[in-house]
Amino acid sequence: MPDAAVAASSSQATGGSTTQQVDVAVVGAGFAGLYLLHRLRKAGFTAIVLDEAGDVGGTWYWNRYPGARCDIQTIDYSYTFDPELETAWKWSEKYATQPEILRYLGFVTERYDLRRDIRFRTKVTAANWDQATERWQLATYDGATISCRYYIMATGCLSAPKPPEIDGVKDFKGEVYFTGRWPHEEVKLAGKRVAVIGTGSSGIQAIPLLADQAAQLTVFQRTPNFALPAHNGPAPADRAALLESDRATYREQARWSLAGVPWPQQTVVSWQLSDAERRERFEQAWAAGDLVYILTQLWADQAVDVDGNALICELIREKIHGIVKDPETAAALSPFDHPFGAKRPCLDTNYYATYNRPNVTLVNLRQEPIRQITASGIATDKRTFDIDVIVFATGFDAMTGAIMAVHPITGRGGKSLSDAWANGPQTYLGLTVADFPNLFMITGPGSPSVLSNMAVSIEQHADWVVDRLVAMKEAGFTTLEATQTAQAGWAQHMADCAALTLHRLANTWYTGANVPGKAWGVMPYTGGVGPYRSICNDVAGRGMLGFRLTGPNVAEQCNDGEIVRLQPDVRLVLGMLAEMNLPPIESLGAQGARDFLTEFNKGRPAGRPVGEVGDGMLQGAAGPLPYRLYRPATPGPHPIVVYFHGGGWVLGDEQSDDPFCRDMCRRTGMIFVSVGYRHAPEHRFPAAAEDGYAATRWIAEHAADLGGKPGPVTVAGWSAGGNIAAVTCQLARDRGGPQIAGQLLICPVTDCTFDRPSYTENATGYFVTRSLMYWFWDIYCSPADRTDPRVSPLRGKLDNLPQAFVATCEFDPLRDEGIAYAEALAAAGVPVEQLKGRGHFHSSLMMVDVVITGVGARAQMANALRRFAGLPESKHEGVGPGVAAPPHQIDAAAG
């Protein structure tokens, strides 16, 4: 039915009952539903909001347990769409109580006259996409039906309580309460023996207040959680002043921040700080009483590196032992099984101190699991507890529970959402689902949602959806649906993001692990609020990439594809480089380009300490050459790697890949000798190649003098350095030595033709461009010499060469010649391992402590070097983030 006809009849009779016709039906009258209604109305859509509750509030309507408060500062946990609303409402505390938040949402409801389009006590029980009319039909608990063009689930991420999964609950004769469904009337606990099961945010907020009232409080804890003092009170003066001084900028910074609260990105990593400096930062965070602050502001590697994170865990455990007097209780309360932040940490008021009270007992379920709940209490493996009241603070079927509570949701071709999500939620952007046209989710699985300030994420989603509906209407489209390609691409990007952070290392509701039988996967988007916003904008800006749009009088539009194919951190790095608006390197001239590189390198992280770094001179092909030697901290002698830096035979020197050499020296436990070979245009072909060979020979002959292990050396190089390493192996074979145990070639130049697909696909936009490569070649080597194997090793004889490890990157002009070389080596009978860096660009694997997704690849390279040198593989160097699959051996047939 055309929308005009629908709008003309706001309701119509069907089969005796009334079906209300609207453009948009929204389920949920919490933060998201209220804002959506306001925006939809302003955009000219007819809309209705349906909610099971008796009033507005969403999760805040239900979670009335003692101590319930927000744990994002209220100045941040507010709507920002209307500056007048912001000044019309004043929060009384840093963290508002549940009643105050409910008052705020009531205030917003009245201010924008929303109530008249909200139906309370209306539970939506089923939703069906009717292909013939291209509308959703919603069924409700009371029999009323709604027909809508667009169906938006604003049902919240933590609103469907999960069952307690403990035997005997029904037998219990006392009172039972769930924090997530707390009664409206007062619960009287004075003189009673109260049990709390669960120590997540809800339990930790409630326990101190329950202990105040109850005669005896027994807390049943399965997993200790990290909790930090909230230090509640008035909003901190500095944050309030920051907001007041420039509200618009503050809000805009929040929208582009990582977590939806404006804090800067930390750049200093943990190992650059002394113990005292780290402790000082930690004490400041502990005193701040702010989750986002402590989760983001300690050091740059706290959320991505297990070691950087463990330092915080230790400091918090120390605090717990400082507060809780009984050492055994303190130990039981100390988290042990997850990195800080991987499971949602809590903000508390007197939580740990509560265990010093005589009327409070902690039962450690790791030592004595609950056997069952009986008529009179709770029995563990070791004891029984007589109890009058049980409070279940056992959490939620998070992210998907409230969406799936409408069952069935039936999309195109009768497909049900529960089938589509049988192996975990599949979405595009966390907003839409393939095969479910015109269905939207606000803060759905696959969006930053629970890893962000929900207020900011809700506004971003609601704005994006309403803006799209307006644009569709203007263009004559009436349906929108994500494509399978786009959805699969988003799943890959989600997995890439999840591999970066530590959330995957904890069993939590983020991953579905708290609900027995639920598919495992990191459900929220871990890439950050700002990056996510830019991706959503990008989707719209690129002609609704990944969506199929149809309308009655317009041609179908489907701009199919994946919105992000780069690794998440690579995308950020390339974005920053693009913003710097750098001139093309080739336009700077050789000296200008060298000066640029020197300046550029000053901005990168310094690289980690190794045993010793020393400079010296060695004998090159035509005279002395500088070298820099990196020695491991372990006792020697160590096998030696001769390393050749990148820079197109024109740029760089023995120090220019310093962070990489340090990193690889630490990972391999081998000496790295980085060679300062001669450069063009001063020294053109074959100077660099001949220097590479001569340097390798000299280093092999002087291995013992360098503190290295005499015997075969290994060669390695990146880019043009990879070219020199490959050439060196061929020359060493043909000129009677030195003996080379293996070659590590990273994004190597191997050939002088520029017609392979990677040269076209990645010609621009990935830092190393096609025109830059032309420039390098022109400076180094005249066209007549280019087929010489000393610059195009792919054209040389490839048999009897040392075993090789060849790494290539997907978004690199040099990708295909690297792959071609690996395959040609294998065809010639050389043992080769090949690593294809999915989502990486030419420099990715070298950007130590910047591109974290390169860590896995470097770990694999290090293991290859150790193998070449006859050392056992390192136990710690597994497949890290960012590389889809471990390197694979290619057999001769591949050529």
Interface ranges with ligand N01 (CB under 6 A): 69-71, 158, 164-166, 179, 197-203, 205, 222-223, 344, 365, 393-396, 450, 509, 514
Tokens at 523, concatenated? 């459900």
Give the nearer residue to ligand N01 in terms of CB position, either 365 or 763: 365
Sequence letter at residue 886: P
| Least distance between ligand N01 and beta carbon 254 (Å) | 17
For residue 783, whether the previous peptide bond is cis, meaning omega lies within 30 degrees of 0, is no
3-state helix, strand, coil in the chain (%, to 5): 35, 20, 45
Give the nearer residue to ligand N01 in terms of CB position, either 109 or 511: 511
Residues whose CB falls within 8 Å of the CB of residue 754, separated by 6 or more in sequence, listed in order: 770, 773, 774, 813
Give the nearer residue to ligand N01 in terms of CB position, either 178 or 685: 178
CA dist 321 and 317 (Å) reads: 6
| Least distance between ligand N01 and beta carbon 828 (Å) | 56
| Least distance between ligand N01 and beta carbon 91 (Å) | 14
* Contact between residue 157 and residue 399 where contact means Cβ atoms under 8 Å apart: yes
Closest residue to ligand N01, based on beta-carbon distance: 200
| Least distance between ligand N01 and beta carbon 394 (Å) | 4
| Least distance between ligand N01 and beta carbon 220 (Å) | 6
Question: Residue 747: which of 765, 722, 730, 764 has the closest Cα?
Answer: 722
Helix then strand count (H, E) for the chain reads 27, 31
| Least distance between ligand N01 and beta carbon 604 (Å) | 36
Instruction: Give the HSE-up count for residue 373: Cα atoms under 13 Å, Cβ half-sphere.
Output: 23
Give the nearer residue to ligand N01 in terms of CB position, either 48 or 228: 228
| Least distance between ligand N01 and beta carbon 857 (Å) | 34
Give the nearer residue to ligand N01 in terms of CB position, either 71 or 817: 71
Strand partners, 214: 190
What is the C-alpha R_g of the chain? 31
Question: How many CB atoms are located within 10 Å of the residue 753 CB?
Answer: 14
Question: How many CB atoms are located within 10 Å of the residue 770 CB?
Answer: 15
| Least distance between ligand N01 and beta carbon 529 (Å) | 16
CA angle 556, 557, 559 (to 5 degrees): 150
Give the nearer residue to ligand N01 in terms of CB position, either 438 or 514: 514
Give the nearer residue to ligand N01 in terms of CB position, either 346 or 585: 346
Give the nearer residue to ligand N01 in terms of CB position, either 164 or 882: 164
Sequence letter at residue 771: S
Tokens at 548, concatenated? 């199929």
Instruction: Give the HSE-up count for residue 830: Cα atoms under 13 Å, Cβ half-sphere.
Output: 28
| Least distance between ligand N01 and beta carbon 521 (Å) | 17
Give the nearer residue to ligand N01 in terms of CB position, either 443 or 750: 443
| Least distance between ligand N01 and beta carbon 155 (Å) | 14
Strand pairing category for 145-153 and 135-140 = antiparallel
Give the nearer residue to ligand N01 in terms of CB position, either 126 or 365: 365
* Chain position carrying tokens 């029984």: 384
Instruction: Tell me phi and psi for residue 634, to 5 degrees.
Output: -75, 160
H or E segment to which residue 600 belongs? helix 589-602
| Least distance between ligand N01 and beta carbon 284 (Å) | 22
**Sheet with 671-675, side-by-side order of all strands:** 612-619, 624-631, 671-675, 640-644, 713-718, 740-746, 804-811, 832-841, 888-890
| Least distance between ligand N01 and beta carbon 62 (Å) | 11
Give the nearer residue to ligand N01 in terms of CB position, either 200 or 717: 200
Instruction: Tell me phi and psi for residue 554, to 5 degrees.
Output: -130, 155
H or E segment to which residue 118 belongs? strand 118-119
Exposure string for 796-811, b = 16+ CB within 10 A, e = fewer: bebeebbbbbbbbbbb
| Least distance between ligand N01 and beta carbon 530 (Å) | 21
Give the nearer residue to ligand N01 in terms of CB position, either 200 or 647: 200
| Least distance between ligand N01 and beta carbon 390 (Å) | 11
Strand partners, 129: 136
CA angle 338, 340, 342 (to 5 degrees): 65
Give the nearer residue to ligand N01 in terms of CB position, either 251 or 344: 344
Question: How many CB atoms are located within 10 Å of the residue 127 CB?
Answer: 24
Give the nearer residue to ligand N01 in terms of CB position, either 199 or 501: 199
* Contact between residue 659 and residue 855 where contact means Cβ atoms under 8 Å apart: no
Question: How many CB atoms are located within 10 Å of the residue 880 CB?
Answer: 17
